[in-house]
């Protein structure tokens, strides 16, 4: 099943994001469940969050994936919303 994750960074956390970016990208690639993903951008074009679609068995697996993301472990996110998602376009 597909799940969409919308993760919002804490204010002024770009340095924390950049310090953990390589580990986050390696985790995302290594788990093999990411269907699409990329950073959210603020009005100035700076990274301020993440949008991911992952394919896992259930909400518990989506939450576990999110909790184990190096960004989450580093305390980057102010909020994380996870919801079941159905791809219909693209």
Supply the pLDDT for residue 7: 98
User: DSSP state, 44?
Assistant: T
In DSSP terms, 55 is beta-bridged to 2
| DSSP symbols for 73-90 | HTT-EEEEEEEEE-----
Q: Kindly report the average pLDDT of the chain as a whole number.
A: 97
Q: Which domains does the chain have, with CATH numbers?
A: 2-85 (3.30.70.1060)
pLDDT digits (tens, 9 = 90+) for 38-73: 999 999 999 999 999 999 999 999 999 999 999 999
Helix %, strand %, coil % of the chain (to 5): 35, 40, 25
Supply the pLDDT for residue 53: 98
Supply the pLDDT for residue 90: 83
């Amino acid at each position: 099943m597909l799940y969409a994750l919308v993760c919002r960074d804490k204010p002024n956390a770009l340095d924390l994001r950049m310090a953990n970016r390589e580990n986050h990208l390696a985790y995302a690639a290594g788990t093999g469940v990411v269907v699409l993903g990329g950073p959210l951008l603020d009005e100035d074009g700076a990274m301020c969050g993440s949008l991911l679609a992952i394919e896992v068995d259930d909400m518990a697996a989506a939450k576990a994936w999110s909790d184990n993301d190096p960004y989450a472990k580093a305390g980057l996110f102010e909020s994380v919303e996870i919801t079941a998602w159905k791809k219909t376009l693209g």
